Amino acid sequence: MTVADLARDLVSIPSHEDEAAAGDAISEWLRAETDADVTRDGAGNVIARRGSDDDSSRSLALVGHHDVVPPDDEQVDDDGEYVVEERDGRLYGRGSADMKGADAAMLYSFRDAEPAGELIFASFVGEEVGGVGSRHAIDESFSPDCAIVAEGSTGYSAAGVTDVVVAHKGRRASTVTARGESAHASEVESGVNAIYRACDAVDVLRDLDLPTAEVLGHELSGSLAVTEIEGGSAWNVIPDECAVTVDERTVPGERADLSRVEAIDGVSFEVDQDWPPMACDDAAFADAVLDAADDAQDGAPEHVVKPHATDAGWLAKAGTTCVVCGPAELGEAHTADESVDLDVLERCREIYRSVAEATW
360 residues of the chain, pLDDT tens digit each = 899 999 999 999 999 999 999 999 999 999 999 999 999 999 999 999 998 766 667 999 999 999 999 999 899 998 888 999 999 999 999 999 999 999 999 999 999 999 999 999 999 999 999 999 999 999 999 999 999 999 999 999 999 999 999 999 999 999 999 999 999 999 999 999 999 999 999 999 999 999 999 999 999 999 999 999 999 999 999 999 999 999 999 999 989 999 999 999 999 999 999 999 999 999 999 999 999 999 999 999 999 999 989 999 999 999 999 999 999 998 888 999 999 999 999 999 999 999 999 988
Q: What angle do CA 354, 359, 360 make, to 5 degrees?
A: 110
Question: Within 13 Å, how many C-alpha atoms sit on residue 292's CB side?
Answer: 26
pLDDT at 80: 85
Burial (CB < 10 A; 0-12, 13-18, 19+), residue 211, is middle
Rounded distance between C-alpha atoms, residue 48 and residue 67, angstroms: 18
Write b or e for each residue in 9-32: b if 16 or more Cβ atoms lie within 10 A of its Cβ, otherwise e.
bbbbbbbbeebeebbebbbebbee
Domain positions in the chain: 3-169+277-357, 171-275
pLDDT at 56: 61
Rounded distance between C-alpha atoms, residue 36 and residue 29, angstroms: 11
Rounded distance between C-alpha atoms, residue 19 and residue 40, angstroms: 12
pTM of the model: 0.93
pLDDT at 107: 98
pLDDT at 220: 93
83 within 8 A of 24, measured Cβ to Cβ: no
pLDDT at 360: 81
pLDDT at 54: 62
Cα separation values, 98 from 15, 121, 146, 218, 230, Å = 12, 17, 21, 25, 33
Q: In the chain, which ranges are continuous DSSP H helix? A: 3-11, 20-33, 101-112, 132-139, 194-206, 283-295, 311-317, 342-357
288 within 8 A of 58, measured Cβ to Cβ: no
* DSSP helix/strand/coil, 152: coil
Rounded distance between C-alpha atoms, residue 209 and residue 229, angstroms: 22
Rounded distance between C-alpha atoms, residue 105 and residue 112, angstroms: 11
Domain spanning 3-169+277-357, CATH architecture: 3-Layer(aba) Sandwich (3.40)
Fold agreement between 3-169+277-357 and 171-275: no
CATH no., domain 171-275: 3.30.70.360
Cβ atoms < 10 Å from Cβ of 284: 9
Q: What angle do CA 110, 18, 246 make, to 5 degrees?
A: 95
